[in-house]
Every structure is written in C-alpha cells, then in structure tokens.
Amino acid sequence: QYQAQAQAFRELLMVFALAVVLVFTILVIQFRAWTPAILILLAAPLSLGGALLLLLLTGTDLNISSAMGIILLVGLVVKNGIMLLDFSEKLHEEGEPFETAIVHAGRIRLRPILMTTFCTLFGLLPLALGLGAGAELQKPLALAVIGGLALSTPVTLLAVPGLYAAIKGIGQLSRRT
C-alpha cells in the first residue's frame, strides 16, 4: 500500500509539473511576454503555502486528494492573475498610462475576482466540513483549495500588480537612459 501511494504521488508530481509548464506556455502566448507569466505563476507557491497551512491546522494529512486540490489550485490562481493583468494590458493598449491602467484594472476586476473566489470557497465549504455522502474522501481536496485561495487571492490582487508595476517601471527607466 505504501509503494502504491508513493507511486501515485510521483505520478501526481509529474502531472503537477506538466500542468505548470502548460500553464506557463499559455500565459506567455496570452501576454506575449515573460514577465506577467512569471509573476502570475509566482503566486502559485504562495497558494501552496496556504494549502499546506490549512491542512496542518486542521490535522489533515497530505494525500492524493489534497495533492489533486493543489493541482486545481494552480489553475484558480492563474485565472485571477489573468483577469487582472490582461485587463490592465488592454487598458494600456487603449492609451492609458501603465500606472493608471494597472490601478484601474485592479479597481474594475476586484469584484469579479472576489466573487469567483468566494463562490469557490463557499461551494467547497460543505466538503471541507465533511458534510454529505463521500465528503470525507474529498475533504483534503477542499481544504487545500480553500487554504490556497485564501492566501493567493490577496497576493494576486496586491503583490502581483505591484511587482508588475515595479518591474515595468524599472524597464521604462532603463530604456530612457
């Protein structure tokens, strides 16, 4: 049984790595740049920290179900980053200065990002509480997603655009000199 579980974890790790590579490729194609793709993916390790912290606080083991939740979490974190940075890029292309565009995008996209995050969190709450038939098996998945989203959403809303503005500002300064 231990060997079967170890094999399953190795396979999930490979799936996770493949998911990150595919998501990164899609992000680079979407933004036609490396910087936003890297910044959005940097929120993923922080979400992993939130997932592991909630699993630890609830005394839930890291198992196949929670590992699947972590893989799911990557997609959710990336979705929020895309919603924010893509809109700021659109506003910038329409003529808004970059700094104004990223602030404007944050203000406009805050509500949809929070709505989708809260819907996901509240939708997973019955599983996280172990309510319903078979919920006990999926409880680790729900806890991993809830913990990861709870940490990654503020990071996506605050740190990612802030870092993007800082990096883009440094790039604009170096082009001027």
| Residue count (the chain) | 177
69-73, 96-100, 110-114, 133-137: which has the minimum mean pLDDT?
133-137
Neighbours of 52 (CB within 10 A): 16
Helix axes 64-93, 34-58, angle to 10 degrees: 150
Contact present, 14 and 31 (Cβ < 8 Å) = no
Q: Give the pLDDT band of residue 7 (cuts 50, 70, 90).
A: confident
pLDDT digits (tens, 9 = 90+) for 21-30: 998 999 999 8
Contact present, 75 and 16 (Cβ < 8 Å) = no
- What pLDDT is attached to residue 171? 58
Cα dist. 96→88, 100, 104, 170 in Å? 9, 6, 9, 18
- What pLDDT is attached to residue 10? 87
Show the tokens assigned to 160.
């990612």
Look-up of token digits 């509500």? 111
**1: three-class secondary structure by DSSP:** coil
| Residue 156 predicted with pLDDT over 80 | yes
Over the chain, what is the mean pLDDT? Answer: 87
**59: three-class secondary structure by DSSP:** coil
Q: Give the pLDDT band of residue 139 (cuts 50, 70, 90).
A: very high
- Rounded to two decimals, the pTM is 0.83
pLDDT digits (tens, 9 = 90+) for 84-106: 999 999 999 999 998 899 999 99
Identify which of 146, 114, 153 has the alpha carbon closest to the alpha carbon of residue 129. 146
Gyration radius from the chain CA atoms: 18
- What pLDDT is attached to residue 11? 87
**pLDDT top residue among 172 and 165:** 165
pLDDT digits (tens, 9 = 90+) for 32-44: 889 899 988 888 8
